[in-house]
């Protein structure tokens, strides 16, 4: 089977932008103790920028497309996760021995374990992809309406009755099932990117205007409502618009994507890249704790000046992440040339 480089380009773009967004907004602040802070808390005016930096819907959308043909082995995707958990099991012991308080360890674990909230649903969806593919073949894009309506109903229930907030965990599966199913439908040619973009965009804007949902599309520590923890109807609508834009872009990439070999490398490593990228930032930050607050790294993110300084740390973040992937890389056979690692 011929590999579709346009999917590699879309997936690589979504992963790269998502990682950069996380690195640019999150800081392990060193004061009397260590705590996690977000630039968006200090500079809420940057919230609209998260519409560009929140790319998880495209990750699930392209994954759905990739599973629209023959499936791939879920066991190969479990290995990086098991390696990650074992590594952080040892990391906890190292942190304890070096005098980090229980509160500080909890702060450290928050961001580094966050990818599991998205990768676990991803594993579940890819595991049942053959059944989802058959459902989409029979019912088309309308299959995505089932989890989509579920997200809306859960939001209505938990906003009307706060004691039912635990229902939000249901959205952790159903919200990501929608772009995954839309990706399957795109492969079968049964969706319109233009309709998804316009309809999803207008619905997202309307939901935010009603006042129940925040503008930002990422998790902001201390915010009363998050669009992503758990996923909300606003994030789902935004994700549909983003999937529509990805479909339109993918339909136009054509031969331009054929020579983008870097996209293939990133696409093949998408799962471990997303899994390990918060750890890269944590390692760099913890390595400098003894020096006190370091400008743009472990200093409080209070202004756009801090953001400018954080850009200077990006090369080190990239280098550390590449090193982590090299150390954690499982020794498995390479996938067939016609399939992505997803």
- For the stretch 65-115, pLDDT in tens is 988 765 455 555 678 888 899 999 999 999 888 888 888 899 899 999 999
Token pair belonging to 280 = 């890269």
- pLDDT, residue 334, reads 52
pLDDT tens digits, one per residue of 141-150: 999 999 999 9
pLDDT band at 57; cut points 50, 70, 90? very high
pLDDT band at 342; cut points 50, 70, 90? low
Q: Is the residue at 85 inside a domain? A: yes
Q: How many domains are there within the chain?
A: 1
Q: Is the residue at 282 inside a domain? A: no
pLDDT tens digits, one per residue of 17-27: 999 999 999 99
- pLDDT, residue 331, reads 59
Q: Is the residue at 336 inside a domain? A: no
The pTM score is 0.89
Segment 194-215 shows an average pLDDT of: 91
Q: For residues 310 and 296, is the Cβ–Cβ distance under 8 A?
A: yes
Q: Is the residue at 31 inside a domain? A: no
Question: What is the domain range of residue 165?
Answer: 5-23+47-100+109-270
Residue 221 phi/psi, 5-degree rounding, is -55, 130
Q: Is the residue at 285 inside a domain? A: no
CA 144 to chain centroid, in Å, comes to 20
b/e code 215-236 from CB counts within 10 Å (16+ = b): bbbbbbeebeebbbbbbbbbbb
Question: If you write DSSP's letter for every residue of 44-78 in order, what string do you get?
Answer: GGGGGGHHHH--HHHHHHHHHHHTTSS---HHHHH
Q: Is the residue at 16 inside a domain? A: yes
Q: Does the structure show a pLDDT above 80 at 222? A: no
- pLDDT, residue 339, reads 47
pLDDT tens digits, one per residue of 239-255: 999 999 999 998 887 66
- Rounded to an integer, what distance in angstroms lies between the CA atom of residue 109 and that of residue 103? 10
Q: Is the residue at 184 inside a domain? A: yes
């Amino acid at each position: 089977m011929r590999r579709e480089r346009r999917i590699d380009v879309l997936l690589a773009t979504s992963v790269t932008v998502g990682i950069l967004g996380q690195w640019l907004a999150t800081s392990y602040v060193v004061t009397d103790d260590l705590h996690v802070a977000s630039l968006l808390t200090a500079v809420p005016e940057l919230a609209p920028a998260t519409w560009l930096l929140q790319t998880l819907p495209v990750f699930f959308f392209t994954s759905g497309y990739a599973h629209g043909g023959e499936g791939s082995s879920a066991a190969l995707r479990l290995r990086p996760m098991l390696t990650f958990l074992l590594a952080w099991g040892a990391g906890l012991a190292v942190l304890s021995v070096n005098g980090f308080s229980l509160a500080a360890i909890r702060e450290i674990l928050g961001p580094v374990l966050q990818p599991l909230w998205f990768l676990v649903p991803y594993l579940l969806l890819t595991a049942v992809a053959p059944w989802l593919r058959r459902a989409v073949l029979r019912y088309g894009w309308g299959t995505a309406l089932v989890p989509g309506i579920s997200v809306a109903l859960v939001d209505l229930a938990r906003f009307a009755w706060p004691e039912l907030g635990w229902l939000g965990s249901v959205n952790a599966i159903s919200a990501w099932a929608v772009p995954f199913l839309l990706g399957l439908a795109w492969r079968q040619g049964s969706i319109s990117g233009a309709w998804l973009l316009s309809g999803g965009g207008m619905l997202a804007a309307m939901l935010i205007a009603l006042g129940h949902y925040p503008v930002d599309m990422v998790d902001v520590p201390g915010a009363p409502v998050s669009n992503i923890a758990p996923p909300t109807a606003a994030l789902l609508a935004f994700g549909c618009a983003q999937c529509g834009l990805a479909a339109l872009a993918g339909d136009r990439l054509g031969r331009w994507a054929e020579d983008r070999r870097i996209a293939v490398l990133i696409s093949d490593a998408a799962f471990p890249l997303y899994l390990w990228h918060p750890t890269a930032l944590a390692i760099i930050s913890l390595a400098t704790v003894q020096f006190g607050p370091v400008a743009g790294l472990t200093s409080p993110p209070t202004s756009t000046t801090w953001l400018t300084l954080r850009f200077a740390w990006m090369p080190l973040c990239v280098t550390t992440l590449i090193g982590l992937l090299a150390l954690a890389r499982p020794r498995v056979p390479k996938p067939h040339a016609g399939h992505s690692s997803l």
